[in-house]
């Protein structure tokens, strides 16, 4: 099964919950940017996820690893391409915008910094 590693910008409170409990659709209220609670919004780029965190007054970015591709959809609000594969490859050079649609356990989430991402 193909998987992906993506990034999620969030607040300290939400990061703590994700790190402890993982994520399930409709278990939290809508996102700070008018997001839907049935999705966890993800980006292919760390800096893009950081921008979303900063919009919430935070600097926390979580790396979400080993996400099965069939758990992802193109972000209905900000995605550009028709398929997950196209969105992840970002042919236009912009960060891909995706949403997680199925539960994911806490072990897949970890807090990262730009320095850590740059050295991976």
Specify the pTM: 0.91
Least confident of 32-36, 51-55, 72-76, 113-117: 32-36
* 8 Å CB contact between 101 and 71: yes
pLDDT in tens, 56-106: 999 999 999 999 999 999 999 999 999 999 999 977 788 999 999 999 999
Q: Walk me through the domains of the chain, giving residue ranges and CATH numbers.
A: 3-112 (3.20.170)
Q: How many residues does the chain have?
A: 120
**Residue 61 confidence (pLDDT):** 97
Question: Using CA atoms, how far apart are residues 91 and 51, in angstroms rounded to an integer?
Answer: 21
Residues 6+ apart with CB under 8 A from 85: 69
pLDDT in tens, 26-46: 876 555 445 688 999 999 999
Helix (H, G, I), strand (E, B) or coil at 17: helix
Give the pLDDT band (50/70/90) at residue 116: confident
């Amino acid at each position: 099964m193909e998987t992906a590693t993506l990034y999620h910008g969030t607040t300290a409170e939400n990061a703590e919950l994700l790190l402890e409990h993982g994520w399930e659709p409709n278990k939290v209220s809508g996102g700070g940017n008018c997001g839907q609670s049935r999705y966890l919004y993800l980006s292919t780029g760390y800096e893009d996820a950081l921008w979303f965190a900063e919009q919430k007054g935070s600097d926390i970015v979580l790396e979400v690893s080993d996400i099965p591709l069939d758990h992802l959809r193109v972000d209905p609000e900000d995605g550009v391409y028709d398929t997950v594969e196209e969105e992840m490859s970002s042919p236009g050079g912009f960060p891909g915008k995706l949403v997680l649609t199925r539960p994911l356990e806490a072990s897949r989430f970890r807090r990262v910094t730009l320095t850590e991402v740059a050295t991976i």
